[in-house]
Amino acid sequence: MRSVEPVVAEDTPVSPGSSAKPVRARLIDAGRSLAIVVVVALAGWQLYRHWDEFWATLADIAWQSSLLSLLALVASITVVTFGWQVLIEHFGAPIGYARGAQICLVGQLGKYVPGSVWAYLLQMELGRKAGLARARIFTASLVQLGIGIVAALTLSLLAVREVLGGSAYATWLIVAIPLGLVALYPSVLTWGTSLVLRILRRGPLERPLGWRTVGTVFGASLGAWMLQGLHLWLLVNSVGAPGFGGLIVCIGAMAIAMTAGAVAFVLPSGAGVRELVMVAVLTASGVSAGQALAFAVVSRVMFTVADLLTAGGAASFAFLRAPRGPQEQAV
């Protein structure tokens, strides 16, 4: 009979000064390094592939709007990372934002590999190297995904009238949102998470989720989606899109787009699906189809740039803080 691994098992300490690693450990380290190189290369390829279209459209946008739009994306990523860190610390000892960002942000680059499951696998491997149990990383990412989707569905109501009209999807959305909010009730969310973990042959949650944790992560998700809507509005508003009303629609549109991208997990970072939704909302707001497609391309490239900037920043910060020499390693 196969034993299950408890979700909140004690983290395994890692000895950074160990010089006699077994062959298997060295191969695993090499595999991690290769995986990071591959996902960074794929993210760079996405950037290169859209580069000409990106610059052609960006030339018509005020540089202030472009810069603020990119900063809004960077801010949204830092907020999402905070929500992930809150869950990680709920399931174990505190790790701090810097350490959590290194695992979360570098691991997130795995979404550029077809099949978004790679992001979670890379996060688990990076967490394991940092001394955190894989089950702890996986559970935090799973719970954040569920809470984030409910937050996005809630904000998507802002764009239902303009984008979806009387379509069947709008009706489905009205039904899904109350069900999603019920699923966020801590006892229900704890039960649902434990059920998924049992299906995956993992142990159930040993520490139930509480209102404070769920509320904090839900608020962080709402904030992140709103910042991403602000990112889109800053781009579109630079060519005369409606003011505050346009901002509300852009927030709802990005929430729908990100939800659709998360569902389309087979594609690298939801490629194509997210842009389709963005084009739909921009054309509904009066932007021409050609311009809407161009803005969607600019947004896609900016997301990639923001992912690389934040992941690179987190990795660089961790490298600079890493101990140097045997004396520091022994501290």
- The amino acid at 15: S
Residue 250 clears pLDDT 50, i.e. is over it: yes
Paired tokens of 288:
């021409």
**How many Cβ atoms are within 10 Å of 57's Cβ, its own excluded?**
23
Contacts of 119 (CB under 8 A, 6+ apart): 107, 108, 109, 110, 111
Residue percentage of the chain with pLDDT more than 70: 65
- The residue ranges of DSSP E strands in 62-114, in sequence order, are none
Contacts of 86 (CB under 8 A, 6+ apart): 213, 216, 217, 220
Please tell me the distance from the alpha carbon of residue 312 to that of residue 105, in angstroms, as a whole number: 8
Taking the mean position of all CA atoms in its chain, how far away is CA 92?
A: 21
Query: Could you give the C-alpha distances from 48 to 187, 297, 300, in angstroms and in order?
Result: 46, 12, 12
Work out the pLDDT band at 4, boundaries 50, 70, 90.
very low
Q: What angle (nearest 5°) sits at the alpha carbon of residue 307, between those of residues 111 and 248?
A: 95
Top mean-pLDDT range of 3-12, 50-59, 311-320: 311-320
Work out the pLDDT band at 190, boundaries 50, 70, 90.
very high
